[in-house]
Amino acid sequence: MDDFMTDSVTEDPWSEGLTATTPDYEFQDFMCDLSSVRAFRRACEPPLFWMIALVGGPGNLAVVWIYLNFRRRLKTMTDVFLLNLAVADLLFLVTLPLWAVEASHSWTFGATLCKVTSAVYKVNLFSSTLLLTCISMDRYVVIVQTAKAQNSQAERRRFARFVCAGVWLAALLLATPELAFSTTVSTEEDEGPREFCRMLFPSHVGQRTKMATLWVQVVMGFCLPFTIMAACYGSVVATLLKTRSFLKHKAMRVVLAVVTVFLATQLPHNAVLVTEAMQAANVTVTDCRELKRFLKVGQVLKGVAYLHACLNPFLYVFVGVRFRRDLFQLLRSCSCRRPGTPSDQLSRSGKSPLGSARASDSDTSQALSL
């Protein structure tokens, strides 16, 4: 039996989220045994987290591998954004085994690593969504403003590096609350004491800071990026509809897949976050069964949101014709390399033998195949 009345700090010892953003229920005599919620988490999260890590790890490593082995592969703004996106997803995937261990047993890695892993999660959240936004804006320029894209390719590539630096800096700043307030929390259970990695807010900043953290995550991690993506891809679709290319239907399917996957994975989880922010401002959930259902649904939707880390390589990279050709060429070069052949032959040349297949950024039929 857990008592969720708080005293000197605003804390969530029963929250099952990575950053403990579930609202406090601070009213007299409200006590609810959430052992079934924790049992659900122990059964649900570890296999899901391991699956995401095992699928997303090789996929994102393959993306980084291709970009590092083909020096001239980074020839567009989108290529630069995709490389940074893969790095951001890899950083997040490295932390998933730690969260799986916590869900199965307990957080045994100390308060410092708790701060770091919580911050890495937020850095990935904000950097990945901001990078996806940048990709949509670049596709808009390439397809809708073709002449501008042709005339400033070299300048745009240099600009992309400054944009990525700004994205990482913004993500680090937005992850400051995790670095400041994340720590370990001990709870008593039937199996004995367990520790969890959670966010604890001092009483003088408790609810307001928690609400601000939630709303910043929703606005910067979903609402603003989706608004920009919808506007950019809407203009892209309108432009493609005016073309006569037989590849326009394939390009439009890519756009539809990008928007659909982003909505399907992120919208439900952000709806839960909005509900939590509203509950933190004005607690209305007093029924124990309703609270348990809410927490279980939130755990499932959180796992769905994490799928983006393993879906991004397949959705944004492997769907591209040029990238698949480069990947197959690199695999063939590794399997068929003769003894004595320099291992970095491709890196030195920076060229794929498929030179004739290269498409410029201004080619509308290739623009969404990356």
pLDDT higher than 50, residue 7:
no
Place of tokens 């307001």: 208
CA quadruple 297, 298, 303, 305: dihedral positive or negative?
Answer: positive
Q: How many residues does the chain have?
A: 370
Q: Which of 96-110, 151-165, 278-292 has the lowest mean pLDDT?
A: 278-292
Rounded Cα distance between 184 and 315, Å, is 36
Domain 10-330 indexed as CATH 1.20.1070.10: yes
pLDDT tens profile 285-312: 667 888 888 889 999 999 999 999 988 8
CA angle (104 as vertex; 98, 105 as ends), nearest 5: 85
Rounded Cα distance between 184 and 46, Å, is 19
One-letter identity of residue 349: S
Tell which wins on pLDDT, 103 or 356.
103
Place of tokens 């073709």: 146
pLDDT tens profile 100-109: 999 888 899 9
Rounded Cα distance between 295 and 65, Å, is 39
pLDDT higher than 50, residue 159:
yes
Reported confidence tier of residue 200, pLDDT bands at 50, 70, 90: confident
Give pTM, 2 decimals: 0.80
Which structure tokens are listed for 167?
A: 């994205």
Q: Which helix (H) or strand (E) holds 218?
A: helix 206-218
Selection from 274, 271, 260 nearest residue 300 by Cα: 271
Which structure tokens are listed for 4?
A: 């969720």
Tell which wins on pLDDT, 326 or 13.
326
pLDDT higher than 50, residue 86:
yes
Output the pLDDT for position 91: 92
Give percent of the chain above pLDDT 90: 32
Compute how many other C-beta atoms are within 10 angstroms of the C-beta atom of residue 152. 13
Q: DSSP secondary structure string, 45-69?
A: HHHHHHHHHHHHHHHHHHHHHHHHH
Domain boundaries, the chain: 10-330
Compute how many other C-beta atoms are within 10 angstroms of the C-beta atom of residue 7. 8
Rounded Cα distance between 330 and 332, Å, is 5
What is the pLDDT averaged over residues 143-154? 71
Selection from 270, 350, 332, 325 nearest residue 302 by Cα: 270
Selection from 296, 257, 303, 302 nearest residue 51 by Cα: 303
Which structure tokens are listed for 272?
A: 């839960």
Output the pLDDT for position 246: 56
